[in-house]
């Protein structure tokens, strides 16, 4: 299976992605993890990304795209993958289409974890992190919605909507059911 997982901050997509990765036997590929791995290993692309991050700038999309291209070409991703944090824009989605075409594979679906914003804000506030104020959380939700809406429209025919408001195991069962597993 070749999947993308999307959902707002606090929706539990990282948790669901890890469980799904384990159950399906495919790698969970998070762009955050890719950046950290490439930087810590001192790869050429990691060093390039580090220059931007150290300057407090956003890493240009082509660097992220190249990291994803390299990662999807690794042997463990040949039988499938679960992308988390990529693509973040229609431009990146189109780049992913090209990467997959080069690999001779297609995308099976886009898991969209849908949650109630007020409930997620409460959940995130309960974590007690210093940077998790209600204003900050709600702003992150607005940014997510603005960034992701065009992406969801782009993938409209591949969206697999999941209610993320249940217990972790119930959400996982719902995902597996919708994937026919």
- CB-based contacts of 40: which residues, under 8 Å, 6+ apart? 46
Task: Give the separation between CA 4 and CA 109, rounded to whole angstroms.
Answer: 7
Write b or e for each residue in 142-173: b if 16 or more Cβ atoms lie within 10 A of its Cβ, otherwise e: eebeeebeebeebbeebbbebebbeeeeebbe
2 beta partners: 81
Q: pLDDT (tens digit, 9 = 90+) per residue, 22-75?
A: 999 999 999 989 999 999 999 999 999 999 989 988 889 999 999 999 999 999
Q: pLDDT (tens digit, 9 = 90+) per residue, 78-124?
A: 999 999 999 988 999 999 999 999 999 999 999 999 999 998 899 88
First to last CA, the chain: 11
The CA R_g of the chain, rounded to the nearest whole Å, is: 16
What kind of architecture, by CATH, is found in domain 2-30+80-176?
3-Layer(aba) Sandwich (3.40)
Model confidence, pTM? 0.90
């Amino acid at each position: 299976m070749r999947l993308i997982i999307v959902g707002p901050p606090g929706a539990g997509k990282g948790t669901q992605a890890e469980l799904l990765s384990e159950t399906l036997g495919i790698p969970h590929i998070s762009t955050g993890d890719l950046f950290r791995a490439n930087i810590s290993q001192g790869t050429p692309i990691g060093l390039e990304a580090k220059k931007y991050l150290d300057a407090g700038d956003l890493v240009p999309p082509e660097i992220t795209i190249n990291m994803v291209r390299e990662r999807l070409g690794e042997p463990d991703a040949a039988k499938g993958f679960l992308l988390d944090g990529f693509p973040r824009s229609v431009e990146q989605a189109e780049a992913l289409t090209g990467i997959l075409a080069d690999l001779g594979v297609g995308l099976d679906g886009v898991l969209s974890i849908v949650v109630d914003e007020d409930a997620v804000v409460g959940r995130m506030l309960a974590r007690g992190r210093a940077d998790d104020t209600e204003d900050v959380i709600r702003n992150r939700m607005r940014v997510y919605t603005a960034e992701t809406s065009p992406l969801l429209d782009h993938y409209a025919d591949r969206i697999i909507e999941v209610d993320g408001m249940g217990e972790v195991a119930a959400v996982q069962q719902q995902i597996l059911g919708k994937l026919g597993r």
